[in-house]
Structure 1
């Protein structure tokens, strides 16, 4: 029983930590929708992502087969010095392809958002209609990116959990523990998605930092897809450090506000809370 409980806690914590980049992406993508549609888009996107994760877990044998080589560079370029020194870069798997394409999409999406912010152009009524029509597109983007973000966590979870776990005297499949952990983690993300998204939307500099994070994550996915493996802890530490510095900058800027600017900021904060 205790073994199962510890496994669920560890898996849930891992899913939540690995889901932070997912929440940031949801915050950025949902911001393009009309304000009244954003909470629904976040909830539906995460619920759809939950279904996709459970499907991945239930088809775990197929997911694990994604790590099998389907192509080798030596078939084309021969046994080069680079491939001899780094044999892990030789084989190409479906997982590598999915991570590579997903990383490119994330980089393109983030750079496009930054470019639009720098242009600072006004949307016409026709543009506004186009934005409002992208609700289903936002849901699909959230689902697609969640599958890419979930691949590593699902494969890692399989390595962390035994095939059979004893719960109250019953031998249950480890998949049920993983499903329970996914339910808990997505529940936490749904709870805090609106709060985090609204906070990012209220602070333009923080939104730009979040987009930079997504570019960094995209580059990391492309690198992993190309066979370059490195410790993600360094990346997450750099992101946490940059976020801490930006929060300090935001605090300094708030202390320098004039009384009128503080009233305007408080009013905007109150309106955002009422809208949420």
Structure 2
């Protein structure tokens, strides 16, 4: 306890904490988008509980990984080499998670675009029945929670050697995720075009995880800058659509160009 109090008196520790909290929140956006899209496929009465369980599992997994910090550090060590390229445990997890995310996003995009295809969706259910069971949703959230949690903790280890700071940053970031989960999910559900944009983000994130697993580092700033630009364009489109709807309503359902 005394060591923790001394650490909190260090300005450098506070700077590291603030920086790490911001980084963890940004990294948590990917996880949150996936959880929001997946839980929106459940019946309305189960969505909020599924989101809370999914985010709770993310917190438990991150804290558990912090306790296993020595094991996490070893994940960066190469397990084997193929054609002169070494693959570590982290690489294999990133590749597997990236492939899973690309597959999920591709299947959902196909389902959204091909509205005549009622044969199957993400879990093989018809369009007019429940598209995903509660257990299936939690299971798939758990898989991606593991991938994002390992990425999150490895980032934390690289930014500070102080485990208490990592704990505070992780708990703060997951709390923000918990508060933002329902509003984000509701926003995505009410704006169908946002769903497609979010799926495109997941597709890009999945591809990034795969290439990083093969040793190609992609600066996160480029990814989030692209996401922010796309989100900004979509915000302008939404503003334009709502303006047209207001004009149509003011003109008795007829747009000004139809006069």
**TM-score (norm: length of structure 1):** 0.80
1:182 corresponds to which of 148, 156, 170: 170
- Counterpart CA distance in 2 for 1:212 and 1:37 is 26
Corresponding residue of 1:238: 226
| 2:38 equivalent among 25, 29, 41 | 29
Q: 1:67 to 1:261 in 2, by over 3 A?
A: farther
What is the deviation of 1:262? Answer: 11
Q: Distance in 2 between matches of 1:214 and 1:175?
A: 30
Aligned pairs for 1:1-276 within 5 A: 1=9, 2-74=11-83, 90-121=85-116, 127=126, 131=131, 134-162=133-161, 174-257=162-245, 258-259=248-249
Equivalents in 2 of 1:103, 1:220: separation in Å? 7
Whether contact under 8 Å (2:55, 2:174) holds in the other structure is yes
Gaps of 5+ in 2: 1-8, 120-124, 254-259
Runs of 4+ in 1 over 6 A off after TM superposition: 260-263
> Whole-Å Cα distance in 1 between the matches of residues 17 and 65 of structure 2?
18
Residue 246 of structure 1: how far off its partner (Å): 0.5
In 2, the alpha carbon distance for the partners of 1:239 and 1:176 equals 31
State how far apart, in whole Å, the 1-side matches of 2:251 and 2:40 are.
24
How far residue 138 of structure 1 moved from its aligned partner, in angstroms, is 1.3
Q: 1:260 to 1:189 in 2, by over 3 A?
A: farther
Q: CA separation in 1, counterparts of 2:142 and 2:14?
A: 29
Which segments of 5 or more consecutive residues in structure 1 lack a partner in the other structure?
Answer: 75-82, 84-89, 163-173, 264-276
Instruction: Determine if contact 1:52/1:143 at 8 Å carries over to the other structure.
Output: no
Aligned residues: 236
Task: Say if 1:49 and 1:147, in contact at 8 Å, map to a contact too.
Answer: yes
Q: Which protein, 1 or 2, shows the higher relative CO under an 8 Å CA cutoff with sep ≥ 6?
A: 1
CA RMSD after TM alignment: 2.2
Cα distance change, pair 61–122 in 1 and its aligned pair in 2 (3 A)? same
Shift in CA distance, 228/122, structure 1 to aligned 2, threshold 3 Å: closer
